[in-house]
Amino acid sequence: MHKLVCSAFLLLLLSSSTARDPGVPCYQSIFSFGDSFADTGNNPVVFQWYSIFDPVTRPPYGTTFFGRPTGRNGDGRLIIDFIAEKLGLPYVPPTLAHNGSFRQGANFAVGAATAVDAVFFHERGIPGAPSKFPLNTSLGVQLEWFESMKPSLCPTARECEEFFGKSLFLVGEFGVNDYHLFFQKKMVEEAMSFVPHVVATISMAIERLIMEHGARSLVVPGVIPSGCSPPILAKFADSSQAAYDSRTGCLKEYNELGLRHNSLLQAALAKIRAKHRDVMVVYADFFGPIMEMVESPRKFGFEEDVLRVCCGGPGRYRVNATVPCGDAAATTCRRPSARLYWDGVHLTEAANRHVADRWLAQMNAFGRAGCKKPSSS
């Protein structure tokens, strides 16, 4: 980790205030790519394209903070929402569901998006008929959407260099959907061999943003511990006792895959930093904060049965494919703020806040290319 270069900004990030200090010029916009962990409202539009019902359009989604469904996969704010608040920027608008300006940011993330292009999976019959997933919303497709929007943001190369130099790029999380799709047809051991391909896809996208578009500040999250994810636990509920971590109740092999992905991703990002020394590339730890909440739920204000979702249907983890959250027959816990998981793989607003705080601290620990100390005058 680099030495802290801006103690004033650290205090800003870790404070409870959501307003940015006007004396600290920071990012002017946020551009986001990812899946449902970052999607602020694109997935209902995309799902409609494919005639797929999207439960996030129904209550109780969004009710904790927004008071209504917003297209977010959660009861309230996502990690990206907390980051925008701390940087004093508006919530990042979903590009497919917003008719206004994108000068202060644009969110290209779509629920269920993969890093690797959809054709890779469909050619291999993963997951196979009758499923329409994965949809054509991969990281590469999202980059194409960004490139189509670019001329409306900055007409000239010089303007783009200045504009994107003052922008924050959130690239991910990517990988979880790739692996969870793989688990539909393949053993976890086979999925392990797929990890370098996923990481290479993410790395190439980062290089593209830096080299072709002038990105100077990028945050790249790792993947979650899938072995603690309620849908994975429910799907592989017949696993032997030895497959589980006795301390947490998580499936060890699936977490090991996440650790491998994150290790390779960090190594790839280190190479990118060495190549582009004037660019801030931050690895955002997604795995660690979730494991901390799983291992010590009371420390974070969560109930002890931490792997049980807040909103869902009958079943051991309240994950039920025929009674998803948003279904008329689904039930919701009394206090979402006391739960880690919202509807399956997705986190509650309370958990998202904890993760966002960690990412913001990691950003500051790397130094902020776009933030300057306020003058002493």
Point out the residues that are catalytic.
36, 343, 346
| Length in residues, the chain | 377
The distance of Cα 38 from the centroid of its chain, to the nearest Å, equals 4
Structure tokens belonging to residue 95: 């590009």
Determine the Cα–Cα distance for residues 75 and 133; give it in Å rounded to an integer.
Answer: 24
Helices 79-86 and 349-365 cross at an angle (nearest 10°) of 50
Give me the amino acid identity at 123: E
**How buried is residue 218: exposed, middle or buried, by Cβ count under 10 Å (0-12/13-18/19+)?**
buried
Q: What is the DSSP letter of 272?
A: H
- Give the closest residue to 347 by CA, choosing from 313, 300, 279: 300
Closest to 72 in 3D by CA, of 42, 49, 51: 42
> Among the residues of 25-171, which ranges form H helices?
43-49, 79-86, 118-123, 139-153, 157-165
- Do 94 and 27 meet the contact criterion of CB atoms below 8 Å apart? no
Identify whether the C-beta of residue 102 lies closer than 8 Å to the C-beta of residue 149: yes
Residues 103, 54: Cα–Cα separation, whole Å: 29
Among 128, 125, 94, 126, CA closest to 111: 94
Residue 12 and residue 19 in contact, taking contact as beta carbons nearer than 8 Å: no
Give SS3 for 184: coil
- Residue 51: Cβ-neighbour burial (10 angstroms; 0-12, 13-18, 19+): exposed
Structure tokens at 292: 């901390």
Bond from prior residue into 173 cis (ω within 30 degrees of 0): yes
